[in-house]
Amino acid sequence: MRRLRWQLIIIFLTGLVVGILLLGEQPVVSPLQTPEPIRGGIYSEALVGSLERLNPVLDFNNPVDHDIDRLIFNGLVRFDSRGVPQPDLAESWGISEDGTIYNFSLRQNIKWHDGEALTSDDVLFTVDFLRNGGEYIPEDIQAFWKEVEVVNSPQDPNTLQFRLPEPFAPFLDYLTFGILPRHLLDGLSIDDLVNDPFNLHPIGTGPYRFDRLIVENGQIIGVILKSFDGYFGKPAFIDQLVFRYYTDSVSAFEAYQEGTVQGIGQVTSDILAQVLAQPGLSVYTGREPKLSIIFLNLKNPQLPFFSDPKVRNALLMGLNRQRMINQLIQGQAIIANGPILPGTWAYYNNLKSIPYDKEAAIQLLKDSGYVLSGEDQTVRKKENTELSFKLSYPDTDFHRGLAEAIQRDWEALNIQVELEPVPYDQLITTRLAPRSYDAVLIDINFSRTPDPDPYPFWDQSQATGGQNYSQWDNRLASEYLEQARITLDITDRERLYRNFQVIFKDELPALPLYFPVYSYAVSSEVQGVQLGPLFDTSDRFLTVANWYLMATRNKPAALQPSATSTVSTTSQP
């Protein structure tokens, strides 16, 4: 026992010594160095299009103007990627209990780029242009603002009030318009404004100010913006933004390859594969505010099968939408489960998708009485009614390819489909508006309308004269939509829209196809870029204040060396 005791003591001491030696050999783990953005650098981007006017009330029809205006001007409110309103020029707002009065307080000490102070007079001045916009402002926007009274307080230049004729929950949607400076434009009519030099030398309140135009051979080929030191919000890290105009996406991509630009404003399908294969070029994608959908004329007495929800479900179930997306737009879309944009606060995430299932679609048609009978075994019939109709579509190469893919899928179900190409404007005026159609393939554009509000397309009251082109007549769904329009609490509205989406999925008054995806390419040298769901292409600049080209890599204070290393990248305008 004594000998064993000594052996145990020797083993213990040996282990203790080895442990101490091993501790001494442990590697020293250095804390991770994280970059800290600093101000500086130049970012250049290719835009497809041309400059017309840098003026937020005149950029409705030119997206590339609106992209730049987004950086120069501010609205009273802005919307985040989920469609939730956020303060912009307005610091806060309150709404009356009946939902008809909105009181706004502007931020203190907001400066225009020329140093003058912004006041509520500038807001009233801009609204007057929206009310009396002639041919330059969309008619529905002019009509809306003519119904809204706007007043401000002589005692407080930072407050104003909007008075609505009736409660309207989506009202904040209409307050994202860029504010114009009254002290520079007072006395001008809308016709005067269109030709005013201001449009080529704008003054705003945004994070970037206009610096100069890039002119070559008498043509404007670009715009240079500088960060605004007096901006009321978070100052941007990148000191200068350079935008250059190109005729098409191919030319824009070539400019990147040549080193002229660091970003491409929109990556279209014709350059997507090349862009994805380009080293050092990061591609960001976000859901566009668009929906491709097939409207069905539910009230056409010659097409009684459209009034049967089973047939409508079979029509959607028989479409291989993912294959269409993959083959026609290189996978750049999201299958749609309903009419509300995914990624927003109003979208019901638990809504199940209707998958492609040819056999199940055929069974639904059989259950509804549409079978193959008689000598002709090519078209399904129910008594004397054939499953046969005309699909009208926009007369473009892309829509033709999509319509033909739809036709092939439906013909595989023994449904006869005749295709009719129609110019886009005529598709609205001669087919949808007068309800003179069988089925129509169309794209709905929700740009600049972050509030979901499905009322215009699906409420009963819009079936005649409105945009309820399918003429869907569902009282319960309409009640949800009507209540949501006057409900101010976003949680209550979310519940109402969830109920609406469940009914829509069961009824399928129209056939939602997909939401296209927007792709944006930026050099990997540019850090901090983020892209969420979009309500407008200019939303890619929602987080522009976080973008950076220069940074210091700092260690924690306890291990701080005598100097910091700096990483920087710049490009010349």
Instruction: Give tens-digit pLDDT for 261-280.
Output: 999 999 999 999 999 999 99
Residue 11 belongs to some domain of the structure: no
> In this structure, are 276 and 372 located in the same domain?
no
Among 194, 221, 241, the domain-final residue is: 194
Q: What is the pLDDT of residues 368-397, one digit of tens each?
A: 999 997 666 799 999 989 999 999 999 999
Q: Do 87 and 165 share a structural domain?
A: yes
- Tell whether 141 is covered by a domain: yes
Assess whether 217 and 356 both reside in one domain.
no
In a domain, 8, yes or no: no
Is 223 in the same domain as 262? yes
Confirm if 460 and 473 have CB atoms less than 8 A apart.
yes
Are both 306 and 327 inside the same structural domain? Answer: yes
- pLDDT at residue 1 in the model: 37
Q: Per the domain annotation, does 14 fall within a domain?
A: no
Query: What's the predicted TM-score (pTM) here?
Result: 0.89
Q: How far apart are CA 366 and CA 314, in angstroms?
A: 10
| Residues 92 and 174 occupy one common structural domain | yes
pLDDT of residue 33: 66
Residue 263 and residue 571 in contact, taking contact as beta carbons nearer than 8 Å: no
Picking from 337, 256, 220, 307, the residue whose alpha carbon sits closest to that of residue 523 is: 256
398, 335: one domain: yes
User: How many domains are there within the chain?
Assistant: 3
Burial class (CB in 10 A: 0-12, 13-18, 19+), 194: middle
What integer pLDDT is reported at residue 25 of this predicted model?
Answer: 47
Mean pLDDT by 10 residues, the chain (573 residues): 40 44 46 81 98 97 97 98 97 97 96 98 98 96 98 92 98 97 98 98 98 97 98 96 97 98 96 96 97 98 97 98 97 97 97 95 97 83 95 98 98 98 96 98 96 97 96 98 97 98 98 98 97 96 96 62 39 43
87, 67: one domain? no
Rounded Cα–Cα distance for residues 360 and 313 (Å): 10
Say what the pLDDT of residue 22 is.
42
Give residue 553's pLDDT: 74
Question: What are the C-alpha distances in Å from 227 to residues 265, 372, 544?
Answer: 19, 69, 11
CATH number at residue 363: 3.10.105.10
- Domain of 375 in residue numbering reads as 290-517
The strand ranges marked E within 300-348 are 333-335
Give the domain-ending residue among 162, 194, 226.
194
Neighbours of 464 (CB within 10 A): 10
Contact 263, 509 (CB under 8 A): no
Determine, yes or no, domain membership for 9.
no
Residue 320 lies in a domain: yes
Residue 18 lies in a domain: no
CATH number of the domain enclosing 133: 3.90.76.10
- Looking at the fold, whether 162 and 57 belong to one and the same domain comes out as no
486 & 426 share domain: yes
In this predicted structure, what is the pLDDT of residue 376?
66
Q: How many other C-beta atoms can be found within 10 angstroms of the C-beta atom of residue 460?
A: 18
Same domain, 439 and 488: yes
**Alpha-carbon Rg for the chain in angstroms:** 30
For residue 192, what are its two tokens?
């005067």
Same domain, 152 and 239: no
Say which CATH number the domain at 56 has.
3.40.190.10
Six-digit token string for 470: 């399918």
Place of tokens 């976000």: 286
Three-state DSSP state, 246: strand
Q: Which of 25, 23, 122 is nearest to 75 (CA)?
A: 122
Residue 187 counted as domain residue:
yes
Of the residues 517, 540, 561, the one at which a domain ends = 517
Cα–Cα distance, 71 to 45 (Å, whole number): 14
Determine the pLDDT at residue 556. Answer: 55
